[in-house]
């Protein structure tokens, strides 16, 4: 058996699972008989049931044209059939979604599962609140539920570092438990896969890097993250990449410079975890990436977050953000304070980040036009003082792709099928095809007509069941947060 086969078997085993307790529907869909239900309060879907959503426009995440007046049949949490002319099985629960658009759930190929710990006074006023008293597991599940309500149904947590208030080894062990429990019908939270600590963390030699990869394999990491500065030791990343390949694991690399990207791809690295931001990508890098099948995770919002709080971002008044933003109230108050905005405005990194974003946006278009796969990722979570709001920033990221020149279909594919394929999980996730988990978003309007329509969420389904309309902590949605900061620009 090949390493890839072993890895695929491991992924399938991880994603297959037992069926859990019934998830109640609280979704604003118009239901038809059978069974009898109202639009505001539907019946529970028993585990193992067959459900048919009819009359929708379906964008399946493969990049193929949308299918009009289509039917999506789900059984036991997975897609059974999809397309025009698909018959509704006898006895199925039928849901009329005529006039709506269905897309796969969004996948962020670069995110962080950040928990609150009061071990860094630098972030005390901004970040740490009553949630730091909650158990680590509770914090993680709350965050995954917060991401899910926005329609981000899968994330890859890349490279957690305890010295930045992220997670240590014991915390990653808890995240592994959560990951191992998520392969079930009716999941009520975002799926998470993780890299653990970067394999280059503390590595002084190539042998150190190999040992770090071996430790990550022993901890059952899903992917290997490398974190490099602008003048890295090639021996360290080459040895790490080679060791990861021996175990059938992909590597993604934190970097910013063109020369470093070339070295990593030459060594066999699979993905760039951030954009090249020092100069235009050139024909040499493009040829190397094409030859090896390498991909780009742009994280444009990562660069944007390093200057956007010098003023007031437009999105803080966006109802799509505010409807689920009550959990960010304290952070928003600090980020939007005149003192914080003056600090960002004075920072020498602000102008550099503006230039870096412009360069990264240009490079996304250059790589895409050359046929290099673009996998959507944001670095959401990440730095605590940068306001990278989990679940929402993925929409800001996609907007930046649109501004960079990608089409609506390009972007949807990037955030669904392409991301799943590049990260190695396309056997189970990313597209609406028979046999895969039924993770999808029902939209009230067509995002191919106007890309902002991707924010017109009607319902989010994960593993064949709609999420209840609750906030991240499991309570009823509060009234939208009203942000009226002083010093607004």
Helix, strand, or coil (residue 154): strand
- Domain 106-423 -> CATH class: alpha beta
The predicted model scores a pTM of: 0.88
Q: What angle do CA 52, 53, 59 make, to 5 degrees?
A: 125
* Residues 243-257: tens digit of each pLDDT: 999 999 999 999 999
How would you classify residue 462: left for phi > 0, otherwise alpha for psi between -120 and 50, otherwise beta? Answer: beta
Q: Which positions of the chain have pLDDT values less than 50?
A: 1-3, 6, 11, 13-43, 471-489
For domain 3-104+431-466, the CATH architecture is: Roll (2.30)
Q: What is the DSSP string of 108-121?
A: EEEE------S--G
What is the predicted pLDDT for the residue at 330? 75
Find all residues with CB under 8 Å of 451, minimum gap 6, and list them. Answer: 398, 399, 402, 408, 411
CA 423 to CA 374: how far, in whole Å? Answer: 11
Residue 102's pLDDT is 98
DSSP state of 288: H
Nearest to 334 by CA among 128, 164, 48, 157: 128
The pLDDT value recorded for residue 166 is 58
Strand partners, 101: 57, 443
For the chain, the structural domain boundaries read: 3-104+431-466, 106-423
- Cis previous bond, 473, omega within 30: no
């Amino acid at each position: 058996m090949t390493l890839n086969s072993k890895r695929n078997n491991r992924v399938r085993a991880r994603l297959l699972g037992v069926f859990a307790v019934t998830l109640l529907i609280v979704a604003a869909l118009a239901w038809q008989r059978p069974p009898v239900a109202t639009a505001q309060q539907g019946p529970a879907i028993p585990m193992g049931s067959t459900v048919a959503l009819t009359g929708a426009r379906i964008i399946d995440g493969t990049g193929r044209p949308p299918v009009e007046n289509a039917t999506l049949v789900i059984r036991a949490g997975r897609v059974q059939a999809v397309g025009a002319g698909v018959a509704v099985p006898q006895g199925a629960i039928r849901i009329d979604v005529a006039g709506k658009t269905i897309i796969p759930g969004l996948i962020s190929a670069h995110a962080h599962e950040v928990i609150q710990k009061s071990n860094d006074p630098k972030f005390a006023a901004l970040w740490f609140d009553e949630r730091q008293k909650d158990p680590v597991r509770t914090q993680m599940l709350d965050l995954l539920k917060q991401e899910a309500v926005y329609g981000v149904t899968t994330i890859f947590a890349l490279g957690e570092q305890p010295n930045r208030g992220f997670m240590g080894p014991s915390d990653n062990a808890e995240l592994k438990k959560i990951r191992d429990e998520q392969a079930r019908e009716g999941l009520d939270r975002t799926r998470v896969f993780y890299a653990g600590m970067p394999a280059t963390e503390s590595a002084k030699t190539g042998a150190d890097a190999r040992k770090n990869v071996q430790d990550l394999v022993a901890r059952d990491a899903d992917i290997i993250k490398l974190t490099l500065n602008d003048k890295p030791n090639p021996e360290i990343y080459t040895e790490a990449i080679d060791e990861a390949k021996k175990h059938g694991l992909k590597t993604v690399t934190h970097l910013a410079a063109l020369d470093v990207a070339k070295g990593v791809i030459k060594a066999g690295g699979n993905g760039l975890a951030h954009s090249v931001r020092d100069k235009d990508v050139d024909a040499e890098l493009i040829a190397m990436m094409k030859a090896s099948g390498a991909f780009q995770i742009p994280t444009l919002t990562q660069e944007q977050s390093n200057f956007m709080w010098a003023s007031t971002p437009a999105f803080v008044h966006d109802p799509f953000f505010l409807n689920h933003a009550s959990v960010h109230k304290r952070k928003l108050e600090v980020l939007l304070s005149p003192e914080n905005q003056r600090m960002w405005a004075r920072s020498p990194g602000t102008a550099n980040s503006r230039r870096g974003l412009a360069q990264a946006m240009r490079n996304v278009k250059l790589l895409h036009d050359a046929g290099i796969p673009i996998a959507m990722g944001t670095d959401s979570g990440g730095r605590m003082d940068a306001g990278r709001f989990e679940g929402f920033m993925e929409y800001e990221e996609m907007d930046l792709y649109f501004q960079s020149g990608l089409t609506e279909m390009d972007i949807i594919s990037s955030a669904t099928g392409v991301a799943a394929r590049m990260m190695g999980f396309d056997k189970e996730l990313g597209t609406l095809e028979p046999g895969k988990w039924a993770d999808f978003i029902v939209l009230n309007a067509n995002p191919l007509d106007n890309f902002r329509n991707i924010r017109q969420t009607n319902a989010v389904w994960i593993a064949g069941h709609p999420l209840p309309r609750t906030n991240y902590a499991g309570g009823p949605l509060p009234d939208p947060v009203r942000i009226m900061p002083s010093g607004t620009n």
